[in-house]
Amino acid sequence: MTTPAAKPLEPSPRVLLGPGPSNVHPRVLSALGMPLVGHLDPEFVSLMDEMQGMLRQVFRTENPLTLAVSGTGSAGMEAVVVNVIEPGDKMLVCVNGVFGGRMVDVAQRAGAEVTAIERPWGEVFDPQEVEDAIKKVGPKLVGIVHAETSTGAHQPVQEIARIAHDHGAMIAIDTVTSLAGVPVEIDAWDIDAVYSGTQKCLSCPPGLAPVSFGPRAIEAIKNRKSKVQSWYLDMTMIGRYWGSDRFYHHTAPINMNFALREALALVLEEGLDARFARHALNARALATGLKAMGIDYVTAEGHRLPQLNCVSIPEGVDDLAVRKRLLHDWNVEIGGGLGDLKGRAWRIGLMGYGSRRESVTLVLAALETCLRDSGVSIEPGAALAAAAEVYAEATTATASA
Amino acid sequence: MTTPAAKPLEPSPRVLLGPGPSNVHPRVLSALGMPLVGHLDPEFVSLMDEMQGMLRQVFRTENPLTLAVSGTGSAGMEAVVVNVIEPGDKMLVCVNGVFGGRMVDVAQRAGAEVTAIERPWGEVFDPQEVEDAIKKVGPKLVGIVHAETSTGAHQPVQEIARIAHDHGAMIAIDTVTSLAGVPVEIDAWDIDAVYSGTQKCLSCPPGLAPVSFGPRAIEAIKNRKSKVQSWYLDMTMIGRYWGSDRFYHHTAPINMNFALREALALVLEEGLDARFARHALNARALATGLKAMGIDYVTAEGHRLPQLNCVSIPEGVDDLAVRKRLLHDWNVEIGGGLGDLKGRAWRIGLMGYGSRRESVTLVLAALETCLRDSGVSIEPGAALAAAAEVYAEATTATASA
């Protein structure tokens, strides 16, 4: 029953400019492919300690319970919800895209009595409407998406956190797409629980979910009357493995942790502020170029994530045909719309390692060709010229600063 | 807030001869470190199809719902339990080690009414006692560990599967440590649900959990009255992503799937029967060598897994000191005892890529030095000579066959 040798794996050299995964720095790939050590090896244990320190820096928190859950960002969402929520608890979820909706589903499965408030996709919530809902519902936990991957909306959360606490509620935020791309200030904003993913602005392959729990959440977990419904995501047990006990829970994904450690090191070597500025600059160049082609954003002005640009597909242009061609002719992946935005929007990601001038230039040039071939009237080269001007201005500003 | 460059990651070249993770073939590491593609990229989608075919071959099943869950083996256990079980369902769990015990915990958290039957650690269950319990309990599902990683016990399950079905129950088995090391015959044994891990005899890093669900389990999932409590592990939704729908669920761990595909290819290139024979031969050599040093097995004779050798620590030998020295002086990792066997047993794994003559030779030689230094009386070189004889006999037998 021997089978012939499999074909060698030769993935095409994709330029990943969709909603994630993003491209990964060679140092991260190299760390990923290193020979592994055991999950209780002193070398791995000290790597876990180092990673916890790095994750705290990136989340800007002192929370002891800060670590990487052994699953993707959605496992992080579930870990936050099932640990903080007990059956019958009230939870308020703010829904303005796919991931808010997912949080409702996850919370209901955890036995929460969920109230959802909604905003049209692409908009953000106003603190006042959240306060009204909190007053009405009296939730234990408010869940809100800081960076809605389905719309590119950037939700301010600091004021909402204050309001939640004023009314005795906790707040959990989704930073899957925001972490390391725009400021995330867990302690300064007084966030009780947060989760993220590795495959967006951290530019590590998907597979781990950084999480952090603050003092109120820890207290809630300690005072639970029921066991956490998920054994795999029970933070108390996972915390005992990451903590000084080193109590065996499950076999950690060693190589994925190697990769995340390296990705975090790259983030900290660059510096968070420099990284945010880089994301902002490249997004500005992209937006200026897109505007020159007559392409508009779906997301409300002033609330756009630089790392995820959700834009309207011009009238008469075939969504799928363009995306297929981008992939086939240029190896460029951009994302389609989800849910309400299916067929109506593209999501162009400039995340982490992928947020570079060459990415902006390539996607603008390729899109211009596709759109002109689709009959959209565009002045040749206008998008690239407009983007180039943004970079030139930025260079001048830096030089004169 | 830029920090200086992190030290390069340089894991020591461990020889992983514990209960897993095992060492990984260079081809698998190389696949792991390849530049990634998107999770809906046509190339990834066809890789998923290829992997499903390979997983079916390795599990020896035709089950359509056969895929890799995006978590470690314990996530696979939870995926099986929470999908098949609904709150209030009766489940019978056979416990003769850590992982049977874990299944009880997972099932209780899923709301099952659990009955556990127990056997001393290192022993296996007799079909008769399982039948007696099934008759008494009338469970929906019987859970049993095919290869108990904490004791090295190899549990026959075919007869128990027949009995379960005779009494209208389903059977789920844990093959985390057995898959690709000893025969696992999902269809021939008529198993309803099975999970495994990647980091044992598949010799892929930890991080994914191969699972397969047969027709009865699928039917039970279809007829559920309640939602699966875990969104992340909801097999119906995950199946729609792996199936022809390609319905987005979560972002698959791309690189871990690259690695598992390569690991599966290696298994099939070698051939399952040849792989089982290799595991058996190396375990025989190890056992013979250990016997020459006076070291006995904890596990009942006739029910020992060749890939996980659970042996008694000789009187007067310091468990931790020896394991530390093996790691420090030879880069060799072996496992300590868990639970009841803590401090009393070692677990020596010869799994997948690690099941090789050089592993056997190295661990015997290093152990001999450690034991002699601990005052155990051993004839110098006797263990290595005994092992060498096993290999010589095997060569003769092959040559004359």
Per-residue pLDDT of chain B (401 residues; tens, 9 = 90+): 457 778 889 999 999 999 999 999 999 999 999 999 999 999 999 999 999 999 999 999 999 999 999 999 999 999 999 999 999 999 999 999 999 999 999 999 999 999 999 999 999 999 999 999 999 999 999 999 999 999 999 999 999 999 999 999 999 999 999 999 999 999 999 999 999 999 999 999 999 999 999 999 999 999 999 999 999 999 999 999 999 888 999 999 999 999 999 999 999 999 999 999 999 999 999 999 999 999 999 998 999 999 999 999 999 999 999 999 999 999 999 999 998 899 999 999 999 999 999 999 999 999 999 999 999 999 999 999 999 999 999 999 888 87
Give residue B109's region: left, alpha or beta (phi > 0; psi -120 to 50).
alpha
ipTM for the assembly: 0.97
- DSSP letter, residue A305: -
Tell me which H or E stretch contains B101: helix B98-109
Nearest C-alpha of chain B: how many angstroms from A24?
7
A6–B248 C-beta distance less than 8 A: no
φ, ψ for residue A170, nearest 5 deg: -100, 165
Hey, is the C-beta of A197 within 8 angstroms of any chain B C-beta? yes
Closest CA to A74 of B378, B252, B113: B252
> Which domains, ranges and CATH numbers included, belong to chain A?
26-269 (3.40.640.10), 271-395 (3.90.1150.10)
User: In the beta sheet, which residues pair with residue B91?
Assistant: B114, B141
In whole angstroms, give the CA distance from residue A129 to residue B392: 79
Q: Is A225 on the interface with B (CB under 8 A)?
A: no
Parallel, antiparallel, or unpaired: how do β-strands B141-145 and B170-174 relate?
parallel
B303's CB contacts (< 8 A; 6+ apart) are B123, B124, B153, B154, B155
Q: A154 — contact with chain B (CB < 8 Å)?
A: no
The per-residue pLDDT for range A199-251, each reduced to its tens digit, is: 999 999 999 999 999 999 999 999 999 999 999 999 999 999 999 888 999 99
Give the 3-state secondary structure of residue A253. coil
Q: Residues, chain A, total?
A: 401
3-state secondary structure of B113: strand
Q: What does the block give as tokens for B328?
A: 């420090």
Q: Enumerate the residues of chain B whose CB falls inside 8 A of the CB of residue A256.
A: 205, 207, 253, 256
Cβ-based contacts under 8 A for chains A and B = 242
B-proximal residues of A, 285-344, CB under 8 Å: 327, 333, 338
By the 8 A CB rule, do B285 and B390 touch?
yes
DSSP state of A297: B
Q: Give A309→chain B minimum CA distance, Å.
A: 17
Q: Residue ranges of chain A with pLDDT lower than 50?
A: 1
Task: Tell me how far apart the alpha carbons of residues B2 and A272 are, in angstroms, rounded to a whole number.
Answer: 7
CA distance A128 to chain B (A): 31
Q: What pLDDT sits at residue A234?
A: 98
Provide the b/e sequence for A94-113 (b: ≥16 CB within 10 Å). bbbbbbbbbbbbbbbbbbbe
| Cβ–Cβ below 8 Å for A34 and B38 | no
Mutate to test the interface with B, among A7, A230, A331 (most CBs of B within 10 A): A230
- B359-385 burial string, b = 16+ CB within 10 Å, else e? bbbbbbbbbbbbbeebebebeeebbbe
Q: What angle do CA B378, B384, B388 make, to 5 degrees?
A: 145
A6 touches chain B (CB under 8 A): yes
DSSP for residue B180: T
Q: Taking the CA atoms of chain A, what radius of gyration do you get in angstroms?
A: 22
Window 66-85 of B: residues touching A by CB (8 A cutoff) are: 70-75, 77-78
Chain B CB contacts of A47 under 8 Å are 9
Closest approach of chain A CAs to the CA of B390, in angstroms?
Answer: 25
Of A76, A54, A41, residue with least CA distance to A254: A41
CB B317 within 8 A of CB B337: no
Tokens of B95: 């416990």
- At position B83, the amino acid (one-letter code) is N
A14·B32 Cβ contact <8 A: no
What tokens does A162 get? 């204050």
- Is A229 in CB contact (< 8 Å) with chain B? yes
Farthest CA pair distance, chain A: 70
Say whether residue B237 is in contact with chain A using an 8 A CB cutoff: no
* Beta bridge pairs of residue B195: B174, B211
Q: Report d(CA B324, CA B195) in Å as an integer.
A: 32
pLDDT in tens, A246-290: 899 999 999 999 999 999 999 999 999 999 999 999 999 999 999
The per-residue pLDDT for B25 is: 98
Amino acid B2: pLDDT: 57
Alpha carbon distance B229, B111 (integer Å): 10
Q: Which residues, listed in sequence order, are joined to residue B333 by a DSSP beta bridge? A: B16
Q: Which residue of B has its CA nearest to A252?
A: B206
Contacts of residue A388, Cβ cutoff 8 Å, sequence gap at least 6:
none
**Do A198 and A209 touch, CB atoms closer than 8 A?**
yes
Which letter does DSSP use for residue B304 in this model?
A: B
The residues in B 41-60 lying below 8 A from A, measured between CB atoms, are 41-43, 47, 57
Instruction: Give the chain A residue whose CA is nearest to the CA of B106.
Output: A231
Residue B34 and residue A11: Cβ atoms within 8 Å? yes
Residues of chain B in contact with residue A3, where contact means CB-CB under 8 angstroms, are 57, 268-269, 271
Please answer whether residues B194 and B172 qualify as being in contact, where contact means their C-beta atoms are separated by less than 8 angstroms.
yes
Strand pairing class (A147-148; A153-154): antiparallel
In contact, B357 and B279? CB cutoff 8 Å:
no
What is the separation of C-alpha A338 from the centre of its chain, rounded to a whole number of angstroms?
16
Q: What is the C-alpha R_g of chain B?
A: 22
The whole-angstrom distance between B223's CA and the closest CA on chain A is: 17
Strands (E), A124-263: 141-145, 147-148, 153-154, 170-174, 193-195, 209-213
- Are B70 and A207 a contacting pair at CB < 8 A? yes
Report d(CA A96, CA A93) in Å as an integer. 10
**Which of A2, A9, A273 is the mutation pick for testing B, counting most B CBs within 10 A?**
A9
Cβ separation of B251 and A4 shorter than 8 Å? no
Q: What pLDDT was estimated at residue A2?
A: 57
Are B6 and A262 a contacting pair at CB < 8 A?
Answer: yes
Instruction: Give the pair of three-digit tokens for residue A153.
Output: 């909306």
| pLDDT value of residue A63 | 98
| φ/ψ of residue A58, rounded to 5 | -75, -35
To the nearest 10°, report the CA torsion of B114, B115, B119, B123: -50
Is A75 in Cβ contact with B271 (below 8 Å)? no
